Chains A and B, each alone.
Chain A
Amino acid sequence: MTTTAPSPYQVDAAGYYGPFGGAYVPEMLYPNVEELRNNYLKIIEDAEFQREFTQLLTDYVGRPTPLFLAQRLSAEIGTTIYLKREDLCHTGAHKINNTIGQILVAQRLGKRRIVAETGAGQHGVATATVCALMGLECIVYMGEVDIERQRPNVDRMRMLGAKVVPAKSGSRTLKDATNEAMRHWISNPTDTHYIIGSVVGPHPYPDMVARFQSVISAEIIRQLLHQTGRATPDFLLACVGGGSNAAGAFYHYLDEPSVRLVAAEAAGQGIDTGHSAATTALGKPGILHGASTILMQTADGQVTEPYSISAGLDYPGIGPQHAQLFATGRADFMSITDKQALDAAFQLSRLEGIIPALETAHALACLPLIGAKKDDVVVVCLSGRGDKDLATYTKHLEEYA
């Protein structure tokens, strides 16, 4: 799995993925970002860090997560489907892989406070969890709209001792929570670390978060080899809001062209309805949250307010690495509507006894659309569990009776 030439899909020395990436931050954030950029690789590659990170992933998060052959779903779709069970991680999603890594980085940088943004609340819960574990103060910004639709996660964060601050500006969702978290970091530049929850933001965040999430594809390689005798699937599916579970699931396969990478974006009510979060379908290159990437925007360069049934995908941009995967054609991006996601969520629940998160359901909804043949091996990153979405699912129970 090694290449001699630098991968066109990994970050370069200047912090870019092709034309995407970089660190477009005001001077107020420059020292913080520079401190991180100068230290993150040194910290992460240190043997003691790796030992502690791996041990926490094993004993606290519960890794490795299983790779499960979903036989009834496979029969229904007509291909061979393996589910990478990130939903079985402690706190219920892949998000904690990153927060464990970043809290260890924050400690080594001597930070005492943590600020984070959250959409669905999974990253907020994962951040509050590691802050409790390490005894650090935790402040989580969450859009007012998301606080309403993801109530159980708000209460979990509070139970874990975090302060949840409503983001009241703009669309009052993930984009605005990110703005508020950045403003908080600007106002608290020396003692605070900002744990970004996805592969977004200024360099080095997209690379750092992808490295922490890359444990997902490292495990898939081993598990797939053990179960099928081959290390590479034919298809690898993941949902993309900012794109952290996809970045982790794709990581070790980026330079394996035989693996078809599929990223599921939220089409909301449909890409032409004006109520959508399908960034690559609707966006164009620009700058969002400190990175050059693809984002949904007006002709005048104002960021468009996205919409999705899924709070975790309700974001107008994607990580810069995903922008590069899209621009180069390395990954296929599919737009999945709210309805398709709901269908897929109920299908998985009824066929396999697994209730997926709404975000994850978008990746599952791609299964009938990718043209996989019976003997093709398809891996879906089952990024999170659906407990947090029960209020939304309950509204649709009658339709699926």
Chain B
Amino acid sequence: MNRLTQLFQRKTADVLNVYFTAGFPQLHDTVPVLQALQDAGADLVEIGMPYSDPVADGETIQRSNQQALDNGMTVATLFEQLHDIRQQGITVPILLMGYLNPVVQFGIERFCQQCQAVGVDGLILPDLPLEVYEREYRPLFAQYGLQVVFLVTPQTSPARVRQLDALADGFIYLVAAAGTTGAQTDMNADVDAYLRRTQALGLRNPTLVGFGISDAASFAAASRHTTGAIIGSAFIRLLQQAPADGRTAAIQEFVRGVRPH
């Protein structure tokens, strides 16, 4: 069974998903960071495939993308890095997140094959149009056992939320507020109302909130009406700041700090 499905069967609240950029801060940090996140207790991990023009991302993730590219990171290198993680004791569910062009250039079927071969569980491709997914990608994702995650924002109409929910099979990624990643969203009444409104739709997929979640307070506020939350930019900042020899401990402390129980 897909590890994402297993996770959400086992756990229906306070799910913590942590995002980091592949090949960052150093080219070969991908697997060590993944291992440290699993050891620290992250429920699932979203690995970002770096891209030169990440329009949905704010400065922190833009810079991590550029640094990873400068380090020589590519889609092919990522699959090399991940090739035996499932034999080396990595059991945490893994999503790959990235913009469509590098995936298209790699070749979509070859990409899906490689995902299955290394043990990736799902994909987030924010600029993949829904109709292109339905027409071309859905059969491939199904064939290679990959679940798909779609984004929803406060501006997404209820009818479209239902349409996205009907096609998603990983989870629904609730963008907390209008903006790019790393924006300082305060978990105010507007966000709370939006999360309640979405909860009231009774979606069939689990929901995880992202954009602006950075600490225990925002994690708790975001998780109140949802299955859990996603932390990205705040974790990237930690990776930037932590010295290499103290990184594992810093990641432990970070995850414990976000979800203190």
> Which of A's residues lie within 8 Å of B, judged by CB?
14, 22-28, 30-32, 169-170, 175, 179, 182-183, 186-190, 286-290, 295, 297, 299-303
**B76 adjacent to A287 (CB under 8 Å):** no
Q: Are the C-beta atoms of B105 and A24 separated by less than 8 Å?
A: no
Q: How far is the CB of A142 from chain B (nearest CB, A)?
A: 17
A116–B105 Cα distance when bound, in Å, is: 29
B155-A303 in contact (CB<8A) = no
Please name the residue on chain A nearest to B183 by beta carbon: A187
Contact with A along B89-129 (1 / 0, CB 8 A): 00000000001111111100000000000000000001111
Q: Is the CB of B126 within 8 A of A31?
A: no
* Minimum distance in angstroms from B212 CB to a CB of chain A: 12
The answer on a CB contact under 8 Å between A24 and B100 is yes
Q: Are A303 and B153 in contact (CB under 8 A)?
A: no
**Contact B129 A23, beta carbon cutoff 8 Å:** yes
A196 to chain B, nearest CB (A): 13
Instruction: Determine if A26 and B55 form an interchain contact, defined as CB atoms under 8 angstroms apart.
Output: yes
Whole-angstrom distance between the Cβ of B228 and the nearest chain A Cβ: 19
Q: Is B26 an interface residue (CB 8 A)?
A: no
Taking A28-B151, A31-B157 as contacts, is the C-beta distance between A187 and B53 under 8 angstroms? no
Given contacts A24-B100, A28-B151, A186-B180, whether A302 and B69 have CB atoms under 8 Å apart is yes
**Are A24 and B179 touching (Cβ within 8 A)?**
no
Q: What's the minimum C-beta distance from B87 to chain A, rounded to whole angstroms?
A: 26
Q: Which 3 A-B pairs have the closest CB atoms?
A: A301-B105, A301-B102, A27-B151
Known pairs A24-B100, A27-B150, A189-B155; A170 contacts B53 (CB<8 A): yes
Given A28-B56, A189-B178, A288-B53, 19 other A-B residues pairs in contact with their CB atoms under 8 A: A22-B129, A24-B132, A26-B126, A27-B152, A28-B175, A30-B160, A31-B156, A31-B157, A169-B66, A170-B66, A183-B180, A186-B55, A186-B178, A289-B53, A297-B105, A301-B75, A301-B102, A302-B52, A303-B53
Q: Could you name 5 residue pairs across A and B whose Cβ atoms are closer than 8 Å? A: A23-B129, A27-B164, A169-B66, A170-B53, A301-B101
Contact check, B152 vs A303: say whether CB atoms are below 8 A apart.
Answer: no
CA distance A356 to B150 in the complex (A): 48
**Contact for B103 among A14, A179, A186, A301, CB less than 8 A:** A301
Question: Does B214 make an interface contact (CB < 8 A)?
Answer: no
Confirm or deny: B74 has a beta carbon within 8 angstroms of a beta carbon on chain A.
yes
> Within the assembled complex, what's the spacing in Å between the Cα atoms of A187 and B76?
33
**A-facing residues in B152-193 (Cβ within 8 Å):** 152-153, 155-157, 160, 164, 175, 178-180, 183
**Once the chains are docked, how many angstroms separate the CA of A28 from the CA of B164?**
14
Enumerate chain A residues within 8 angstroms of B183, measured Cβ to Cβ: 187
- Least Cβ distance of B101 to chain A in Å? 4
Other-chain contact of A303, B101, B129, B151, B164 (Cβ < 8 Å): B101
Q: Are B129 and A24 in contact (CB under 8 A)?
A: yes
Measured CB to CB, the nearest residue on chain A to B154 is A189
- State the CA gap A200–B216 with chains docked (Å): 42
Is there contact, CB below 8 Å, between A286 and B153? no
Residues of B within 8 A of A31 (CB): 153, 155-157
Residues of B contacting A302 in the complex (Cβ-Cβ under 8 angstroms): 51-52, 69, 102
Q: Which of B74, B156, B179 contacts A186 (CB 8 A)?
A: B179
Chain B, residue nearest A181 (CB): B55
Bits for B66-86, please: 1 = Cβ < 8 Å to A, else 0.
Answer: 100100001110000000000
Docked-complex contact B101 and A27, CB < 8 angstroms: no
Q: Which of A25, A30, A169 meets B62, CB within 8 Å? A: A169
- For the complex, give the distance between the alpha carbons of A31 and B151 in Å: 12
By a CB distance below 8 angstroms, the chain A residues around B157 are 31
* Cα distance, A301 to B50, chains bound together (Å): 10
A27 touches B105 (CB 8 A): no
Verify B127–A170 contact, CB threshold 8 A: no
Are the CB atoms of A190 and B155 closer together than 8 Å? yes
Taking a contact as CB atoms under 8 Å apart, the answer to whether A28 and B153 are in contact is yes
Chain A residues with Cβ below 8 Å from B106 are 300-301
CA distance A333 to B179 in the complex (A): 38
A286-B105, A297-B105, A301-B103 known; A27 vs B156 contact (CB < 8 Å): yes
The CA of A32 and the CA of B100, in the complex, are separated in Å by: 20
Taken together as a complex, chains A and B put the C-alpha atoms of A287 and B125 apart, in Å, by 13
User: In the complex, what's the smallest C-beta–C-beta distance from B208 to chain A, in angstroms?
Assistant: 14
Interface contact B129-A182, CB-CB below 8 Å: no
Contact with A along B32-62 (1 / 0, CB 8 A): 0000000000000000000111011010001
A22, A188, A189, A297: the one within 8 Å of B101 (CB): A297
Question: Do A26 and B127 have beta carbons less than 8 Å apart?
Answer: yes
B180–A175 contact, CB under 8 A? Answer: no
